[in-house]
Chain A
Amino acid sequence: MKKKVLLAPLDPVHDIGLKMIKRGLEQNGHDTLLMPPDYSQEEIIKAIVDNDVDVVLISRTLGYGVAEILGKFIDLAEAAGIRDKVKIGIGGMAIRPELAAELGFDAGFGPGTTVEEAVAFVEGREYVPSESGIKQNKKDITQGYDYSFRNKRIEKLLDTIVDGILDYTSNKTSTAILRAELRRQILDSTDESEKQKLRQEYARYCDDVVKSFYEAGKYREKTRPLTKDEVKALRGYVDDVNFRMNPIKLQHTDKNPAVFIQYGTGCPFMDIAHIKSCEAWGADGVVHFDPSWGARTEGFLEGYITHEEDGSIITYENLKSIKESLAPYTLWQVRAHRGLNTPETVLLAGKIGADLTKINIAYGSLSGGTDPARLTVDAVAAIKYAAEFGMPFDVVTNEELSGVPAFKAFAGMLIVSKLGLRLGGKPILQPLFCYSPEVMINGQMVDNYVDFNAAKIYCLRNIVNAPIWCGAPIGFLTQTEDRVQSSMMTALHASLASSLGVDAISIASSDEAFSKGPITAASRIDTLRATQASFRFFGHADITPTENAKKWAAEMEEGIEKVLEAVAKKGNFVDALYQGLLGSREDGAYPGRAGRNTVISKS
């Protein structure tokens, strides 16, 4: 119902808040009357009577004598006989709801009050925060993409290469695949004696350090089991924190991408503490980092295990405790893009309910240290698990950090993506937004960090209609140990990604370049705050790259096509990896040795 509202500043100057509320009320169809500043209380009361208003909104910014002045205003309203007829609200910097109630106002609005709250008061309804300001749903990064190829020549080459990969892997398996199958049986079994037998069989396929855990209960050095008291305390901590969660939203417009943070402090419980802090400060998703030794060790441990070095150990229990701590709207990714446990990682992630995983044969075998043949066989099994559990997976081009040029890394990314599509998966392209060795040497970022990153997105969009998630983290190698510079670089890369319309980004903490100790929670909040500020600054405005971006995008696409031609001509993807077609020793890529000669022929 339409209301007549008088807005009056009880100050010598205007409160900007009243003007904003006036606009909001008019947009909602109400009549408003805004009084000039510096009128006496008696003059305001007279205006209320003369104009026969329904609601009065008073503002008071100055704190001096506020209680006396406002108390007198209510007395005057009662004396004039309007107190029972007119709703009176008071707001401003000097106001607190408790004070307003004490003095007899119908409502008090302190600092931070929104226009919507004031409108709700006028309309006599309960204020419900707008959906744009609160987090409710997980974003589906793959939504709206049909994976149609615009570059048909590239699509045809990819199909040829994928045919070769599926043919190569069809009669091969590995201990990792066997372990994943056993892990599934262990998890599905309800019979403890059967589980024990399965564990014994599982241990047969593991390295000695894992075998000795299952056979003799020994823990690897620098690891320890978390105690029952710690596990119990964690549950209490998470419950208490969840009760008081009221997360910030980082995005200012609907074009801003989902923002992921990366965790892996070594301790799953410290991870959870950091995750909850990041959720509160607006992170949309979190990415699990495992230890580098874990990627080179055959087999997983069991139980709640903490670790004194970077990377948090993957066990069913550790992942489960992290999953159970997450807010319902938080996206969760478990990386499986390198290493000797790729299928089991994806299986565990899927079983526990992860939203996303990460798989890339080219990176994992050229810069991640795993043998190309082994990882190719394992990755096919891993992608099948990802498809089974409905988990999209990103294909990150981290080999760029070793020196592999973007066009070669992208060729590898597209091959694995096409393989994923063929196996029923949903791949997400993950180009790096980074100051890579390639550009350091060739000078594409001498002038700015915009053009080459923009070229990557233009190039990929020219090839295929697929989701893009810039990684990982954005701005890699542009950040220094100075937290202001570091946060600024992250925020600007975030806004560049947003301007280019990508779907998600992974951001670093402001400790990104600090390597002498663990990352702190405060440094994570630095970059979340900076990203939010940058999104606010640019809104729907775009960053405009120079003409170089389109030129370099075309060159990249041409380069990708040539690489794919060479791989297709080679006739064997694994041989192409060994021989450097997707990243050579000269580039800085070395075929990994972990798991060499461990592929098992099914025949």
Chain B
Amino acid sequence: MPDILEKVMDAVDVETYLVCKDEEEAERLSVELMEKLGFQDISIVFIQHQGPGARVRVRGYIYKPGDKYSWLFDQRK
């Protein structure tokens, strides 16, 4: 994992507007987008298709509760 992502408290949300024909395509594109960005634990938080495209909010979890959080250890560095 790149160091910068270790500074994320829990997750990265990507919000954008995808040009697509329906919600199904938007879901597929959202997941592809996050995978391309290197996220592994992906959740679609919000997706709504209207006309030209879809408003999406996709989440890539870096840490989930119960994990070991790097940011907890590097405060005094």
Contact = CB atoms under 8 A, between A and B. Distances in A.
A517 interface: yes
Contact of B10 (A241, A483, A518): A518
A270 B67 CA distance: 9
B64 A517 contact: yes
Nearest to B45: A514
Interface string A287-318: 00000000000000000001110000000000
B9 A233 contact: no
A329 interface: no
A301 to B, nearest CB: 15
Given A236-B76, A240-B76, A520-B13, A308 B46 contact: no
A442 B64 CA distance: 40
A265 B63 CA distance: 12
A269 B72 contact: yes
Given A237-B75, A307-B66, A277 B43 contact: no
Contacts of A265: 65
Chain A, interface residues (CB within 8 Å), range: 20 to 34
B60 to A, nearest CB: 10
Interface in A476-521: 480-483, 511, 514, 516-518, 520-521
A119 B72 CA distance: 42
Contacts of B63: 270
Interface in A207-230: 222, 224, 229-230
Contact of A483 (B43, B57, B75): B57
Interface in A301-353: 306-308
A566 interface: no
Looking at B9, B57, B66, which has the most chain A CB atoms within 10 Å of its CB? B66
A233 B61 CA distance: 22
B72 A518 contact: no
**B contact face: mostly helix, strand, loop, or mixed:** mixed
Contact of B61 (A241, A306, A518): A518
Interface residues of B, number: 25
A248 to B, nearest CB: 18
B13 A518 contact: no
A517 B66 contact: no
B49 interface: no
Contacts of B64: 308, 517-518
A274 B65 CA distance: 11
A521 B10 contact: yes
B16 interface: no
A230 B72 contact: yes
B41 to A, nearest CB: 8
B45 A511 contact: yes
B69 to A, nearest CB: 7
B57 A270 contact: no
A482 B46 CA distance: 6
A267 to B, nearest CB: 4
B40 interface: no
Given A233-B73, A277-B9, A482 B48 contact: yes
A198 interface: no
A306 B72 contact: no
Interface of B: 9-11, 13, 43-46, 48, 55, 57, 59, 61, 63-69, 71-73, 75-76
Given A267-B67, A521-B10, 6 more contacts: A237-B72, A270-B69, A480-B46, A481-B45, A511-B45, A516-B45
